[in-house]
Amino acid sequence: MAAELDERLEKYAELAVKVGTNLQPGQDLFITAIVQHAPLVRALTRAGYAAGARYVDVLYTDQHVRKAKLELGPEGAVGYSPEWLKERWSAMAGNATFGTTGDPEPELLAGLDGQLVGRDRMTGVIEIAMKHYSDHVLNWSGLAYPNEGWATKVFGKPDVEKLWEAVAFCTRLNEPDPVAAWQEHVAKLKARAAILNQRKFDAIRYRGPGTDLTVGLLDQADWLAAEFTTASGIPYVPNMPTEEVFTTPDCRRAEGYITSTKPLALAGDVVEGLKVTFKDGKIVEVDAKHGADVVRGQLASDERAAYLGELALVDGDSKVGQTGLTFFDTLYDENATCHIAYGFAIVECIRGELGEGVNASSTVHTDFMVGGPQLDVDGITAAGEAVPILREDVWQLTS
């Protein structure tokens, strides 16, 4: 007896396989997801085989298992990477991978010691993953699975249908031809990136309430958008949705302070009112109304975590922004508005060898939102002139 299939879910998975990973016949597909995402994982598996996957490898993880480890396990279990798991990650090279988001229990780990949660990262596995990203050997993508817990976080009630509608809107699943809609969208964002690349700004300056930060740019870093390409030439869209143009900044040049404009879901907790202060590129101070310890714990996980790895620009055209929702999910919220990330660089942006200004050895990469109608973003030229890029959420730079 075949299970009754949910047509929308099957279409969503098909779009993710075609546009997201752009899975090629004969590739293996690796899916890593929490158990609550099983319905999406099953649909992705079916879509993967339908697209010609040789083998689909599914690994379910479970936040409750992690919580048990942190509450009751020994110190040695914290951050431990089993050898077989490292072997699985090594085997991903040359293949397609999916990750999923949409936390069914966003506050599950909230009662635990924030420093401990921040330290519990499988660095052995993450190092292998980061190497794959640097080597451009994965066509990878991430997408979200609407569920009751996530819907409750967003709407205050478990209205999964309403969340599905928002997800379908943001991922263009409700368009008559979602694949064509994505091609058009990707072209628009790539045009913005091309203009920024022609301008060759020396720095980006952010000004707004609680914010006055200038971040230097790198000569060897490009602005990118929406689509990456593997070393073997497979184009793929790593995030669905995506609305940003982004680059990797000079990690040695960030001065000032910046205040987040949306809550940050991190390590099972929700950080509110985050304000970070930079000196010589490094985060030297962390304040927050709630959850500052989780951020501090993560910044302490390696010596390069406290430096910037990403700047991303998003305007009011963003479908995510248009929903007016806070999704409490980075995949969505980072596409609502401008953001920056501390930790590992986006090495896809770098031309040539990784220079000293590239923050390429951290195992952390955490985005937090800084944009909104009150944020002014300027490009600073080598001559020191300020050129408006964003005013009141409207893109200013048309050539």
* List of residues contacting other proteins (CB under 8 A): 1-3, 35, 38, 41-42, 45-46, 49-50, 53-58, 60, 62, 64-65, 68-69, 71-74, 76-77, 80, 82-85, 87-88, 91
Is residue 241 reached through a cis peptide bond, with omega within 30 degrees of 0 on the bond before it? yes
Cβ 87 to other proteins shortest distance, Å: 4
- Least separation in angstroms between CB 100 and other proteins: 14
Contact in structure between 62 and 35 (CB atoms under 8 Å):
yes
Coil/strand/helix, residue 351: coil
- In order, the DSSP letters of 286-306 are EE-SB-HHHHHHHHTSSTTTT
Residue 182: enclosing H or E segment and its boundaries? helix 178-199
- Least Å distance between CB 20 and other proteins? 18
Which is nearer to other proteins, 63 or 326 (by Cβ)?
Answer: 63
Q: Tokens standing for 350? A: 């770098």
Q: By CB neighbour count within 10 A (0-12 exposed, 13-18 middle, 19+ buried), where does 8 fall?
A: middle
Nearer to other proteins, 33 or 154 (CB): 33
Q: Considering beta carbons, is residue 3 or 383 the nearer one to other proteins?
A: 3
Q: How far is the CB of 142 from other proteins (least distance, A)?
A: 19
Q: Who contacts 275 (Cβ-Cβ below 8 Å, separation ≥6)?
A: 210, 257, 258, 259, 260, 286, 287, 288
Question: Toward other proteins, which CB reaches closer, 88 or 190?
Answer: 88
Determine the Cα–Cα distance for residues 13 and 20; give it in Å rounded to an integer: 9
Report the C-alpha gap between 8 and 85 in whole angstroms: 32
| Closer residue to other proteins, CB minimum distance, 41 or 126 | 41
- Cα–Cα dist 350/128, whole Å: 19
C-alpha to C-alpha distance for 246 and 237, rounded to whole angstroms: 14
Residue 24 beta carbon to other proteins: minimum distance, rounded to whole angstroms: 15
Q: How far is the CB of 98 from other proteins (least distance, A)?
A: 13
Q: Which is nearer to other proteins, 50 or 187 (CB)?
A: 50
